[in-house]
Amino acid sequence: MRDGLDAWIAALLYSSSILVAWGVGWRWGKRDRTGQDDEVEGKFTDASLALLGLLLAFTFSMSIDRHDVRRHAVIDDSSAIGDFYTCASLLNEPVRSRLQSVVHQYALHKLEVARQPTLDSLNSTINQNLELQAKMTSLVAEAVNNGTPFANTLVAALNNLTSRDAAHLAAFRTRLPGIVVALLLLGAVLPAFLMGLQQGRSNRGHHFSGVACFLILVVLVIYVIFDLNKPAEGLIVMSTQPLEHQIRAMGN
């Protein structure tokens, strides 16, 4: 299972594709140079650029929303771990120490995964989570059988912890759909080709400065979109501070 393209690789592929498309369009247009701009062709170019802007805005918004979902999932997951650890501290020994130790181990595992999350390691992560949750469930059952007065609160906290873990994993699984990536590539290549075609047919120079500005802006936006799609890599990294805070609060 692949974790998607690295942001810099995606930016390089997109920039190369845009440059090639513009070059092909410019050479094609140069062979059919008329000395004046085609008004209808110019309208198609403007429309394609407007559509590219909409695609970039839509994809950027999608990436930002999913980034926020992951960020809130980390916060909620950390809060659930902290609440369950607090409930465990109300139990009598020896269950209290054993349960707190497992919760601490669980928090450390979640922190390690949050710092280097990849889709390739997801199955291993799920298995380890389930094993630790099974240990916690067994200790909670032992505490309930011993007649703890906090049974309802303890069970509710455990249920909340497992539910937040499932939500966290679901948010982490979410990536940009392949069809969106392909559509974004097509939406960037076609306007570049039409720009090159129109500029090649005109007698007003190569317009390299305008093409360079267009390329830089589009590639920067694409880089950020793909960077948001990789929670633990690139310039925009998912914060693990909530989990770190909970581990420090456990005091061991």
| pLDDT, tens only, 159-218 | 999 999 888 888 887 778 888 888 888 988 998 888 888 888 776 555 677 778 888 888
Q: Which structure tokens are listed for 33?
A: 């140079």
Structure confidence at residue 2 (pLDDT) = 44
The reported pLDDT for the residue numbered 216 is 86
Q: What is the mean pLDDT of residues 82-99?
A: 91
- Please state the separation of Cα 102 from the chain's center in Å: 29
- Burial degree of 39 (CB within 10 A; 0-12, 13-18, 19+): exposed
pLDDT above 50 (res 1): no
CA–CA distance, 240 with 249 (Å, rounded to integer): 14
Mean pLDDT of 71-87: 91
pLDDT of residue 227: 87
Distance (Å, whole) CA 227 – CA 187 = 19
* DSSP string over 33-76: --SS--HHHHHHHHHHHHHHHHHHHHHHHHHHHHHHHHHHHHHH
In order of 61, 63, 174, 183, the CA distances from 58 in angstroms are: 5, 9, 16, 11
| Interaxial angle between packed helices 95-115 and 122-145, expressed in degrees from 0 to 180 and rounded to the nearest 10 | 160
- H or E segment and range at residue 98: helix 95-115
pLDDT in tens, 216-235: 888 889 899 888 887 767 67
Q: Percent of the chain at pLDDT above 70?
A: 88
Q: At what angle do helices 39-88 and 178-201 cross, to 10 degrees?
A: 150
Q: What is the pLDDT of residues 9-47, one digit of tens each?
A: 888 888 899 889 988 988 888 877 655 556 666 777 888
Predicted TM-score of the model (pTM): 0.77
| Confidence band for 80, pLDDT divided at 50, 70 and 90 | very high
**Band of the pLDDT at 237, cuts 50, 70, 90?**
confident
**Angle at alpha carbon of residue 75, lines to 72 and 81, rounded to 5°:** 140
